[in-house]
Every structure is written in structure tokens, then in C-alpha cells.
Structure 1
Amino acid sequence: ALRAKVQRVVQGDANTEFFHMIANGKHRKKRIFQLEQDEGTIVGQENLKLYITEFYKQLFGP
């Protein structure tokens, strides 16, 4: 597995578009873009932060 990672970095040096596609793909996997709820779809980072914060405050208390 380590060799594959090293190979990607080496290929990335020769082809920065390839390297950025790998990096952006990893970043995208870890990000939440929207939540589907009964009330509707929550979109936007600020809205998501507010909704998630309120959800856990209700769940665990202040």
C-alpha cells in the first residue's frame, strides 16, 4: 500500500492535474454537502453547522 502512495506522489509531480484530482477526491469524501431531513434539505456550510449543533444540543442537552 505504501508503494502505491509513493507512486501517486511521483506521478503527481509529473502531472499536477492528476495529483490534484487525487487530493480533491480525498477532501470531497470527508465533506458533507447537504442533509436530507423530514423538514427538507439543508444546504450550505453555515446552515449545516447550525442544524447539526442544534441537533446535538437537543440530543445531549446544553
Structure 2
Amino acid sequence: ALRAKVWKIVQGGDNTQFFHMIANGKHRKKKIFQLEQDEGTIIGHENLKVYISNYYKQFFGA
């Protein structure tokens, strides 16, 4: 399969570290590390999970 438009890396070259840097970078782009709100900055996976859950419960109802 062609991923990140680097075919030789998929076939198993010496550049596996480069391939993993590309793959991990794509994951980092999609992850939320913190939210800045009027109440302050929310940091940490559990704190974000609680805040987002409560937000949508208030938005849509229980």
C-alpha cells in the first residue's frame, strides 16, 4: 500500500524511522492536547473527556 507517497519505505528500506515519524505526525495532527475556554485552559486527557462530555450533555440533553 502507498502511504504518505513514499513507496520505497513501505517496501522496507533503511528509512523506517522516517516512515514512523510521518505516521506519528499524522496522529499528532488529529489529537487534541488542550482546549482554551473562557474558564481557562483545559489540559489532560481525562479533563478534556469530562469537559467535552458535559458540554454535549448540556447541548443535546442527557
Partner of 2:46: 46
Q: Give the count of matched residue pairs.
A: 60
Matched, 1:6 2:7: yes
Structure 1 residue ranges without an equivalent (≥5): none
Q: Specify the code of the residue in structure 1 equivalent to 2:17.
A: E
TM-score normalised by length of structure 2: 0.82
Partner of 1:35: 35
Partner of 2:25: 25
Partner of 1:58: 58
Q: Partners of 1:23 and 1:48 in 2: how far apart? A: 24
Cα RMSD for the two superposed structures = 1.9
TM-score normalised by length of structure 1: 0.82
| Percent identical residues | 70
Which runs of 4 or more aligned residues in structure 1 lie more than 4 Å from their structure 2 counterparts after TM superposition? none
Q: Specify the code of the residue in structure 1 equivalent to 2:46.
A: E
Deviation at 1:8, TM superposition (A): 4.5
